[in-house]
A and B are shown apart, each in its own frame.
Chain A
Amino acid sequence: MPHDHDHPHDHTHEGGGGQTLPSDMALRVKALESLLVEKGLVDPAALDAIIETYERRIGPRNGARVVARAWTDPAYLERLRADATSAIAELGYGGRGGEHMVAVENGPGVHNLVVCTLCSCYPWPVLGLPPAWYKSNAYRARAVSDPRGVLAEFGVSLTATTEVRVWDSTSEVRYLVIPERPAGTGGWSEDDLAALVSRDSMVGTALIPEPRSRGRGA
């Protein structure tokens, strides 16, 4: 075991953050950062650039563009099916955590759900960093064995005959769910369609409601 010294503890629940424990982790992380900067192992400007990248540049709006293009351009959808990594790169997205992409499509009678039971693998270039629930013990434990129960916790109920396809991200291959295009969006622009696509719908824990029913509190 590589474990040989004290580890941080946090009194908030797992996956939840540490927001109620301001001092301990913040101080330990700051101390480590100072040490690594002093030793020339990290550049503080590089740390800022990494955070800036994932807070502002890379996030689920990227994936939404992929979905909207797939909905509106049949030739693009074919390329996405054949080689998702290349098709996604056409829109300018790729890099760390998205080197090997596969797109999986929802449709009548088929619903896809993505998880990483072993850690928290997630398609960063198209969805950004994973939300807390994706990294939680509860989601990782149950998405494979009780997908309908998990979906119910997200407010998603499927018909009994719908086939649920779970994708456990055990390799460097990353999965992006292409949700079903909602009815009532015929003739919509790619931009307007992309605005409908939520992050969770591209992981499989949400459906995209018909636009006119939005706001009624599904």
Chain B
Amino acid sequence: MNGVHDMGGMDGMGPIDARPEAALFHAPWEARVLALTLAAGAQGRWTLDESRFHRESLPATDYLPMPYYGRWFAALTDLLVKQGLISAQELSSGRADPAAPRATPVNAKAMVARLNLGGPAHRPQVRPPRFAVGDKVRARHLNPPGHTRLPRYARGHVGVIARLHGVHVLPDSNAHGRGEDPQPLYQVRFDACELWGDRAQAPSLVHLDLWEPYLEPV
């Protein structure tokens, strides 16, 4: 989707607050939101891609000024209701419906084991990749209404394949319950002048990781 989350290259976002910060969380609720998101995600009712899509689907006027973990909280409540893990009634009342079934949570030990294990996104190769290192490619001018990891600033531009990452789950499919549809993933190198024209700062390069369906030969 052409959402406000896709902000690479935008002007007008103001200065960066580059001060070093000691604490990871500004308030205790932020840490709880992180933990709630990971723990509820361990129920296995949605994928990481689906979770990202819900964050970027927040209304743009809400998304921009929201604190980071505020976005996580909003997307988490959206997902919980959408997946039927809680009802809108329960969310507003704060009380569980006594008639609703009770789930089994992932305990602390299993949760830490999951964090340590991670969830690799690579999959076995089923066909040879279409492109090789050194090939010139164009990022296709795709404008899907759903989730994609092809930023607008790269669309239509020509780069060079710099590295093959193997075959990875395609977020565009996996975010929408259409399966993993694993595709070759490439590191693509773009010259800054190709992306930013006369505002580019040579010498500089921008690299993106792009799936095969995002690319066409030049």
Contacts and interface: CB of A to CB of B under 8 A. Distances in A.
A35 B86 contact: yes
Given A3-B78, A49-B108, A53-B112, A168 B91 contact: no
Contacts of A7: 58-59, 62, 66, 70, 74
Interface string A21-58: 01001101111111111111111011111110111000
Contact of A16 (B8, B67, B122): B67
Nearest to A144: B8
Contacts of B153: 117, 144-145
Given A17-B67, A18-B67, A49-B108, A9 B62 contact: yes
A51 B35 contact: yes
A55 B36 contact: no
B57 to A, nearest CB: 5
Interface string B1-34: 0000111111101111111110010111111111
A97 B90 CA distance: 32
A173 B209 contact: yes
Provide the main secondary structure of the chain B interface: mixed
A32 B73 CA distance: 9
A192 interface: no
B127 interface: no
B70 A54 contact: no
Interface string B98-113: 0010111111111110
A157 interface: no
Contacts of A137: 7, 13-14, 64
Contact of B209 (A32, A129, A141, A169): A169
Interface in B31-72: 31-36, 38-40, 42-43, 52-59, 62, 64-70
A128 B24 contact: yes
A166 B188 CA distance: 12
From B42, B102, B205, residue with most partner A Cβ within 10 Å = B205
A100 interface: yes
A130 to B, nearest CB: 9
A73 interface: no
A107 interface: no
Given A35-B94, A118-B149, A138-B13, A205 B18 contact: yes
Interface in B101-150: 102-112, 114-122, 149-150
Given A18-B30, A141-B10, A136 B204 contact: no
A142 interface: yes
A129 B90 contact: no
A141 B11 contact: yes
B17 A25 contact: no
A148 B192 CA distance: 12
A14 B116 contact: no
Contact of A55 (B14, B29, B31): B31
Interface in A111-136: 115, 117-120, 125, 128-129, 131-133, 135-136
Given A5-B91, A18-B67, A171-B185, 15 more contacts: A1-B57, A3-B78, A7-B58, A29-B33, A34-B94, A41-B86, A42-B36, A53-B112, A96-B115, A99-B121, A100-B168, A118-B8, A135-B68, A141-B7, A171-B121
Interface of B: 5-11, 13-21, 24, 26-36, 38-40, 42-43, 52-59, 62, 64-70, 73-74, 76-82, 85-86, 88, 90-91, 94-96, 100, 102-112, 114-122, 149-151, 153, 163, 165, 168-169, 185, 187, 195-196, 199, 201, 203-211
23 contacts: A2-B53, A9-B65, A18-B69, A42-B40, A46-B105, A46-B106, A50-B112, A96-B116, A100-B120, A118-B6, A118-B8, A118-B56, A129-B34, A132-B17, A139-B16, A141-B8, A142-B16, A144-B153, A144-B206, A165-B204, A171-B121, A172-B120, A172-B121
